[in-house]
Amino acid sequence: MATIYVATTGNDSTGDGSSGNPYATPGKAASVMAVGDTVSVAAGTYVMTTATTNVAGGCISDTRNTSGVINRWIGTGTVVFQAGTGLTSTDLFFTNGQRLYIENIACDGNNKTSVNGFNVNGNYTNLYRCTAYNCSLGFHVYGDNAMHQCLARNNSSSGFKTESGYFFWCVARSNGGDGFYSSTNMQVFENCIAYSNSGWGFGGSYSCLGQFIRYCISYGNNSGGFNNSGWSGGSRMYLFDSCVAYGNNGYGFNGDGTNLCINCATGSNTSGAFNAVGIQTNSISLTADPFNSPSTGDFNLNTTAGGGALLSAVNFSMPW
């Protein structure tokens, strides 16, 4: 189990991947990476010039199935994997293995056609503090995988497309589709924020098996706050616990009659607070913005009457 080093000052031809003689591109490191290795990427922008994976200048594909060890990709400082000129119809970082860990890496699609950021498949993969921007789709997540403190911004479609998985403290903002778009299998969202997206903050396909959403915020999204509608085949178990939908252009919570909303707060949603929600208990009606400065990403509760002060008065705490 070795550590392979990459730096913009390195060389793919004469480098050996050591700390004193690093490679120049992540693709070169991927080509020699073995099960259990760590790739340490120094700060800088790494331009991917070919969709071919695991070659010098290429995109990344990690499909190793590890047992008892973990493959790691660690960015130190500000690390960006950027789509180069002519790169189209690809994923900048694709995983389909077991027990992978990716930390502090950003994917910049450079506004190229059909270039996605992270495509996370397989199982037991954890992404921590990763970012996807200027992509077609920011994060596409399948399997038994988890995203922690990840950010999707300014992508042309959804920030996160989730087939399954776990999402903690993730943020989707200013994406061209839904902030979080869920389909197919059960998903868990905790402490996530969706704001200023062109679609729903949290959207759902009619085929999605269900969601557990707790301490999440949907703010200022163009289609509405939280959506689960269109299913006519029976119960889908959507649970919303202590969530806030405020200032959305649509309903705060839009359901199919099977939703359960507990301790949820709504205000200034243009179509109303709740639509076709099965059960709602202890709902809170806001008459003022409850957050300090959403436009700058500050979603801490304020002291405004009818806003943050109201939520504080009823012991509604957002664990930021």
Q: Which two tokens stand for residue 192?
A: 């996530």
pLDDT, averaged in runs of 10, over the chain (320 residues): 96 98 98 94 98 97 82 96 94 92 98 96 94 98 93 97 92 97 82 97 68 92 86 60 96 85 96 89 96 93 96 76
- Count the alpha carbons within 13 Å of 239 in the hemisphere toward its beta carbon: 9
**Predicted local confidence at residue 234, as pLDDT:** 45
**Predicted local confidence at residue 210, as pLDDT:** 62
Parse the chain into domains and list their residue ranges: 1-156, 174-320
Q: What homologous superfamily does CATH list for 1-156? A: Single-stranded right-handed beta-helix, Pectin lyase-like (2.160.20.10)
Q: What is the pTM of this model?
A: 0.94
Strand blocks (E) in 100-250: 100-103, 106-108, 115-120, 126-128, 131-133, 139-141, 146-148, 151-153, 160-162, 165-168, 171-173, 180-182, 187-190, 193-195, 200-204, 211-214, 217-219, 224-227, 238-241, 244-246
**Predicted local confidence at residue 298, as pLDDT:** 93
- In the predicted model, what is the mean pLDDT of the chain? 91
pLDDT tens figures, 2-54:
999 999 999 999 999 999 999 999 999 999 999 899 999 999 999 999 999 99
**Predicted local confidence at residue 103, as pLDDT:** 98
Q: Mention every residue, 6+ apart, whose C-beta is less than 8 A from residue 222.
A: 197, 198, 199, 248, 249, 250
**Predicted local confidence at residue 228, as pLDDT:** 78
Give the 3-state secondary structure of 104-135: CCEEECCCCCCEEEEEECCECCEEECCEEECC
Max Cα–Cα distance, the chain, nearest Å:
65
